[in-house]
Amino acid sequence: MNSFIQSIQKIIERDLIVLEKELTFYSSEDLIWAVRGDIKNSAGNLSLHLCGNLQHYIGAVLGNSGYTRNRDNEFAAHGMPRIELLNEIGKTKNSVALALGSLQQNVLSMPFPEEVFKVPMTTEYFLIHLIAHLGYHLGQINYHRRMIQNPSI
């Protein structure tokens, strides 16, 4: 496996492990789904969104996993038990590892197989985007947890 692909895989796995930890740090499952003020996306919804995003773009598009994404449900779901969210993260880790583990280096310079944002981009570029997207929402989840558990913030 190419070192760039290995790096992408390690970073995604690292951040998905952090996502699992963030969800376990919530003092109650109800708080995972809480929203307040201008914060309209709960940690549960953002977690489902990250899993759906990675399982679709890496697992299904690059790895032909057969995963079918329901993006609307990622933001509509509510009250799913923490263990189910953690299981979904586990599925995501497996899907990413399988897809990237078999990805050939020459694919990196090729156009990503699905047009996203109505702009053509290489697979390498889009993989970098997916890492940035994961980090962005992971930061939101960390802030959400601290804000929801400490209303004085």
Residue 150 has pLDDT above 90, yes or no: no
Give the CA-trace dihedral at 67, 69, 70, 72, to 10 degrees: 160
Domains in the chain, CATH or no CATH each: 3-149 (1.20.120.450)
Give 6-52 pLDDT, tens digit per residue: 999 999 999 999 999 999 999 999 999 999 888 889 999 999 999 99
HEC profile for the chain? Answer: CCHHHHHHHHHHHHHHHHHHHHHHHCCCHHHHCCCECCECCCHHHHHHHHHHHHHHHHHHHHCCCCCCCCHHHHHHCCCCCHHHHHHHHHHHHHHHHHHHHCCCHHHHHCECCCCECCECCEHHHHHHHHHHHHHHHHHHHHHHHHHHHCCCC
Write out pLDDT tens, residues 72-129: 999 999 999 999 999 999 999 999 999 999 999 999 999 999 999 999 999 999 999 9
In this prediction the pTM is 0.96
At 89 the pLDDT is 98
